[in-house]
Amino acid sequence: MLTNQTIFTHLFIRSISIIVLILCFGFLLGCSGDVNGSQWHLHGREFRFNDNDVTVEKIIQEDISVQNQISVNVEATNGEILITGQVNTDRILVNARIFVSSDTQADADLHLDDIDILVTEGTHEISIETVQPVFDGRGYRVEYDIIVPDSFEVVASQVNGDIIVFNIQNSVELVNENGNIIMSEIVGGALAEVENGFIEAHVILPVNEVIDLNTNNGSLDLSIPVSTSADFSAFISGIGEIDVYNLDIMDSSGTKKLLKGILGNGEGTISLMTAIGDIEVLGFERQ
């Protein structure tokens, strides 16, 4: 199981990288490449993901003022999504590192502008979407670091890569086809679905809210307060076992692959399901 320390370390490393990028902005004009508004094209930055491909990158940053919006929706294709809730802010900050890989430097540079970030400010929702062409033998990847008000609802989806959401005081809904989902310090309902990858969630579930975690091929790790009140069910349809620690599940019945019962007064719902993988549920004392 990933620990909170692991998540904090990941966030720290990514945060340091953002700080370095911001500090570099002041002297980018003197470097190879060009600066155009909020897009930084680092054509002089060349590195390789493997022996055959050359990869170049650009950085897009957005600073969005929140008006009456209450949620953010991120739709990505390949890369990583990191969303962090921040207290006492009325802005959304987006840092997107865009990578294009090809068999030559010239082709990678030529197609660096094929991929873009579309931000739409709706009445109640701010959407952030990766816009990219079909692959055509090239590789496209976007690494998002997004800061939102911690009171926002969060919705995110991705085809390939991890999704990490941290410190949100509202509901979270995540869908991932190939990659892991990590939710930490969530106070609200939590819905997550993964085709291939694990789900790890640290959630404080309010009364009458829902935790629904579902993966086809991967483990489920859920940490909840020992005081949680919910109707509880966990099911493994294939290979794996269910383990519960430090929780009193009343009226429980089942096996190592199916467990049902009541936590507290049963005022919410917790549903956990996987086809292949273990399910582990841990109760913790709130500070």
Q: CA 249 to CA 240: how far, in whole Å?
A: 20
pLDDT of amino acid 253: 84
Q: CA 18 to CA 79: how far, in whole Å?
A: 16
pLDDT of amino acid 8: 46
170, 151 in Cβ contact below 8 A? yes
- 184: nearest Cα among 242, 224, 157, 137: 224
pLDDT of amino acid 35: 29
Count the neighbouring beta carbons within 10 Å of the beta carbon of residue 6: 13
pLDDT of amino acid 98: 95
Each residue's pLDDT expressed in tens, for the chain with a length of 287 residues: 444 444 444 444 454 444 443 443 333 333 333 323 333 333 333 333 454 589 999 999 999 999 999 999 999 999 999 999 999 999 999 999 999 999 999 999 999 999 999 999 999 999 999 998 877 778 999 999 999 999 999 999 999 999 999 999 999 999 999 999 999 999 999 999 999 999 999 999 999 999 999 999 999 999 999 999 999 999 999 999 999 999 999 988 888 999 999 999 999 999 999 999 999 999 999 87
pLDDT of amino acid 7: 47
